Amino acid sequence: MKTITTTKDLAEYCEMARDYPYVTIDTEFLRERTYYSKLCLVQLAVRSDDPDAAVLVDPLVDGLSLEPLYDLFRDEGVVKVFHAARQDLEIFFIEGNVFPIPLFDTQAAAMVCGFGEQVGYETLVRKIAKEQVDKSSRFTDWSRRPLTDAQKIYAIGDVTHLRDVYEYLDAKIKKTNRNKWVEEELKVLLNPKTYVVEPENAWKRVKTRNSSGRFLAIVKELAAFRETYAQSRNIPRNRVYKDDAMLEIASTKPKSLQDLGRSRMLMREARKGDISAGILEAVANGLSMDPDDFPKPDRSREKLQVNPALADLLRVLLKSKAEAAGVAVKLIATAAELDAIAAGRRDGKSLTGWRKEVFGNDALRLCNGEIALTAKGSTVHVVDV
């Protein structure tokens, strides 16, 4: 199989790919030791009998630019096909400030075609392409060179089998007129906000049961410093300090290096230098924060007055609607969303878009007493009241 190592060869391949209706794409990357993913390999394939229809692209080679690939991403005449595209798209957005348009994600498509929630690539290949995927090289170090033959075979399989998966799912979606369903699922993947973590909002990712305003103010400042520090040095946030250490610091409120040295959970590297200075400054900022500016966690769901009988009826309705549509129940609505509807909330995802057509409209009618549910054998029917 061919490995592309020059910008010229990549440009020639991408120009050739423009003659095809779609190109399948995958990546291999590392993220264990960095904040941002390190792109190690790009796999590309078009539907052709040419032995070079599927290629590997080595982005670690000095002088190779991915700009020809980004130009292909911008070409709306060629569908870009991924499986579980989120992490791939994050890499291309961060490095190239570009999204592949139009995008087709076979995981999202498989969900609306009845293959279950977050179905894996291996499962789709086995069920659709009737092939087995060798996953033995999945967790290898993709940054090491040269790549082994086993790594290359594994990597190229992620785009060659994907052609069969895409063609099957694309045909099924067109046949069932569910194109808009897939487009709705892909909106979040094509939104830049999906991939940008703002330091001032980083505290929302930290799980704590302490709702004290002053405590959360310190957590907010500590989380913002950690995010900024990790981003600027491209290291994992947990390498700065972990969540449990952050919560301990927010509780003990150290004001000096001596105080900080008493921490049980803080790593040794964080007790000195820039990190320790940042921690002490963050604690001081949290302690001096005006109460009007305290972060306020979303506690709205804790106050919901759920009608348990209505919630149970909504579950029955959802199961019936999901079976009729041939999609996973959780793809339409979660248990928490059903409880929210039963408590009077009307802002959930299940009440918008295609989910509203499949389930939401009747869910609202059920809440309003406009319909009832009857059972005949194992089938549930909706009856107008």
pLDDT at 302 over 70: no
pLDDT in tens, 85-138: 999 999 999 999 999 999 999 999 999 998 987 889 999 999 999 988 877 777
- 2 φ, ψ to 5°? -85, 135
Bridge-partner residues for 39, per DSSP? 29
The answer on 154 and 65 residing in a single domain is: yes
Bridge-partner residues for 42, per DSSP? 27, 57
The mean pLDDT value for 234-240 works out to 96
The mean pLDDT value for 247-262 works out to 96
DSSP letter, residue 260: H
> Among 276, 269, 200, 204, which residue's Cα sits nearest to residue 239?
269
Question: Distance between CA 189 and CA 268 in Å, rounded?
Answer: 38
Model pLDDT, residue 137: 78
**CB-based contact 173:109 (threshold 8 Å):** yes
The CATH number given to whatever domain includes residue 348 is 1.10.150
The answer on 326 and 210 residing in a single domain is: no
- Rounded percentage of the chain residues whose pLDDT exceeds 70: 99
pLDDT at 1 over 90: no
The answer on 184 and 56 residing in a single domain is: yes
Residue 245: alpha-carbon gap to chain centroid: 26
The answer on 156 and 116 residing in a single domain is: yes
The answer on 234 and 106 residing in a single domain is: no
The answer on 248 and 319 residing in a single domain is: no
**CB-based contact 20:49 (threshold 8 Å):** no
Question: Distance between CA 56 and CA 37 in Å, rounded?
Answer: 18
The answer on 235 and 210 residing in a single domain is: yes
Residue 32 is encoded by which pair of tokens?
């264990």
Residue 66 is encoded by which pair of tokens?
């991915």
pLDDT at 202 over 90: yes
For residue 218, give the amino acid letter: I
Give me the domain span that covers residue 114: 2-194
Domain stop point among 258, 273, 293? 293
E-state strands within the chain? 2-4, 22-30, 38-45, 54-57, 79-82, 103-105, 371-376, 379-384
Domain stop point among 251, 271, 293? 293
The CATH number given to whatever domain includes residue 135 is 3.30.420.10
- The chain-wide mean pLDDT, for the chain, equals 94
Question: Distance between CA 115 and CA 107 in Å, rounded?
Answer: 9
The answer on 51 and 133 residing in a single domain is: yes
Domain stop point among 293, 315, 341? 293
The answer on 177 and 204 residing in a single domain is: no
List the single range of 44-53, 203-212, 247-256, 296-305 with lowest mean pLDDT.
Answer: 296-305
List the single range of 240-249, 323-332, 333-342 with lowest mean pLDDT.
Answer: 323-332
Q: Which residue has the tokens 């099957």?
A: 168
Residue 218 is encoded by which pair of tokens?
């310190």
The answer on 279 and 226 residing in a single domain is: yes
The CATH number given to whatever domain includes residue 260 is 1.10.150.80
pLDDT at 285 over 80: yes
The answer on 314 and 179 residing in a single domain is: no
**CB-based contact 91:69 (threshold 8 Å):** no
Bridge-partner residues for 27, per DSSP? 42
Element (H, E) at 150: helix 149-175
The mean pLDDT value for 145-164 works out to 96
Q: At what angle do helices 67-74 and 7-17 cross, to 10 degrees?
A: 20
Question: Distance between CA 85 and CA 106 in Å, rounded?
Answer: 9
pLDDT at 300 over 70: no
Model pLDDT, residue 356: 96
Q: Which residue has the tokens 């139009």?
A: 102
The answer on 205 and 184 residing in a single domain is: no
Domain count, the chain: 3
